[in-house]
Amino acid sequence: MCAVTVFDAVRAFVKMTVAGLLVLCTALAVARCCHAVEAPPNSRNAYVDKVIDPRAASSVLPPAFKKLATTAVVYMCYNRTEMIRLALESVLKSEGLNQFDVIISQDGGDGGAQLNVSVPTGTNFAYIRHSENLNAGVHHYFVRNLAFAVLGYDNLIIIEEDNILHPQAIQMLKHMLDMSLQDLEIGLVSIVDADNSNIVDMTRYGSHVIRVVISEGGHNWAYGMHASRFRAVRQHLLDYVKIIAHEDYRMLHADPLAANIKAMYARKGVPLTIPLSQDANLQFSLRLEGFDRRLTTVARLMRPIGHWGLHFREDSTIFFDRFGREMYSGRVALPPRETSREDEADMARNCRLAVDKLFVENLGRHPDEKALSFAVSRLLAGRMNGVVLVACVTRTAKRRTPECRDMYWV
């Protein structure tokens, strides 16, 4: 009886031991398998974390680059090679470029070709070609953070990839920065993106700038800001970039990314009708900190060319019907003058006369008072687009867009 019991006990122990060993071996094999297929660290996210960290961001600069000027001019681009060639050529032909430090920041990913850059003699220059795709929101934060928090510039002028500059545009922006440094209403200075040469006497006002409200919509093509403004809004910009940093920015308007940005807006008391873009976040952040005005040129000192790409994806006809194909061709008298009340009253009178003539010649009637008032108010608020106004008047009723009625009362 006892012998049988001992034998049974030993046999049971052996079975348990074998089973335990099998379980242990299986577990080890699974562990080895999981380790073998474990994904490597996300190189894109690691790179993004590096470039938004002020302690590490300077590592992407060429080792030989040294800050010499107080103002940086940064040309931001991506992968549209032919468009970049045309736009960058205009930047490098800008007058007085050797007064600034010039940086090209080219976003990575999707086969963007390395640029072949020929820089004017005497220009302090750096070319950054990112090894990963930052996305537009992170790229803009990187540029501002690098210029102000890392390199310590007093001013930053940003030129986006998809516009051709007037030779004096950069000098104009620098003068606008100088004249607004102590003006605590002004958050940004910018080149107006609309061509209003058909309703404004540019021979008289082509060298003027006008003070307008910073809006939350629209797109910043060529603009400048002071270091003091960046310091005021840096935390707002960082809050935004932390949300988008590791996300697919192409999904900006889909949840969960859109929901997370709106939740941030709600915490700050930002209206949820504000666009979700980094441009809008910058503009409203400035408004939150009391900088609710910008200086913008009266004359368009740039020509948009990017109908297909990062910011716009439109048929070229639609794009140029909206933005036109021309820019101011005259010389700008520097330093610029800010429009006075008398100047704006004169601009308003000329606008009314130009709109009346446009209606009579194309529609055979005078515009009603609401159309005239709309045109004047949009002009003086920096929201007039003379190209669209002309298109609205000259199109047949069937081809007019809702914008014609809503914005120009045509």
DSSP string spanning 30-96? HHHHHHHHPPPP-HHHHHHHHHTSTTTGGGGS-TT----SSEEEEEEE-S-HHHHHHHHHHHHT-TT
Q: Let me know whether 17 and 66 are in one domain.
A: no
| 206 shares a domain with 163 | yes
In this structure, is residue 335 part of a structural domain?
Answer: no
Q: Give the pLDDT score at 8.
A: 52
Please give the backbone phi and psi of residue 392, each rounded to the nearest 5 degrees, phi first. -65, -40
Q: Could you report how far apart the first and last alpha carbons of the chain are, in Å?
A: 109
Q: How many residues does the chain have?
A: 410
Instruction: Say what the pLDDT of residue 109 is.
Output: 80
On whether both 292 and 356 belong to a single domain, the answer is no
pLDDT score, position 18: 43
CATH number of the domain residue 68 falls in: 3.90.550.10
Residue 58 sits in the same domain as residue 149: yes
pTM of structure: 0.86
Domain boundary among 260, 291, 323: 323
Domain boundary pick from 323, 352, 375: 323
CA-based R_g, the chain, Å: 29
Q: CA 241, 242, 245, 247 torsion: positive or negative?
A: negative
Host domain of residue 189: 47-323
Q: Are 218 and 129 contained in the same domain?
A: yes
In a domain, 4, yes or no: no
Rounded Cα gap, residues 259 and 351, in angstroms: 42
Whether 71 and 206 map to the same domain: the answer is yes
Residue 55 falls within a domain, yes or no? Answer: yes
The CA distance from 212 to 380, in Å, is: 7
Residue 331 lies in a domain: no
How high is the pLDDT of residue 21? 41
Task: Look at residue 246 and tell me if it is in a domain.
Answer: yes
Do 350 and 390 sit in the same domain of this protein?
A: yes
Give yes or no: residues 125 and 66 share one domain.
yes
Predicted local confidence at residue 218, as pLDDT: 62
Cβ(199)–Cβ(348) under 8 Å?
no
* 379/278 same-domain check: no
Determine the Cα–Cα distance for residues 158 and 160; give it in Å rounded to an integer. 6
H/E stretch holding 104: strand 101-106
Q: What pLDDT score was predicted for residue 387?
A: 87
Asked if residue 2 belongs to a domain, the reply is no
Whole-number pLDDT of residue 391: 86
Tell whether 199 is covered by a domain: yes
- Cβ-contact 194, 387 below 8 angstroms: yes
The confidence score (pLDDT) of residue 312 equals: 53
Q: Is residue 115 part of a domain?
A: yes
Three-class DSSP category at 112 = coil
Q: How much is the pLDDT for 290?
A: 96
pLDDT tens for the chain, 410 residues: list them: 444 444 454 354 434 444 444 443 344 333 333 332 333 457 999 999 999 999 999 999 999 999 999 999 999 999 888 889 999 999 999 999 999 999 999 999 876 688 989 899 999 999 999 999 999 999 999 999 999 999 999 999 999 998 999 999 999 999 999 999 999 999 999 999 889 999 999 999 999 999 999 975 567 889 999 999 999 999 999 999 999 999 999 999 999 999 999 999 999 999 999 999 999 999 999 999 999 999 999 999 999 887 655 555 566 777 767 777 889 999 999 999 999 999 999 999 999 999 999 999 999 999 999 999 999 999 999 888 888 888 888 887 767 777 787 777 77
Supply the pLDDT for residue 358. Answer: 94
Residues 23 and 75 in one domain: no
Number of domains in the chain: 3
Check whether residue 136 and residue 14 sit in a common domain. Answer: no
Same domain, 181 and 232: yes
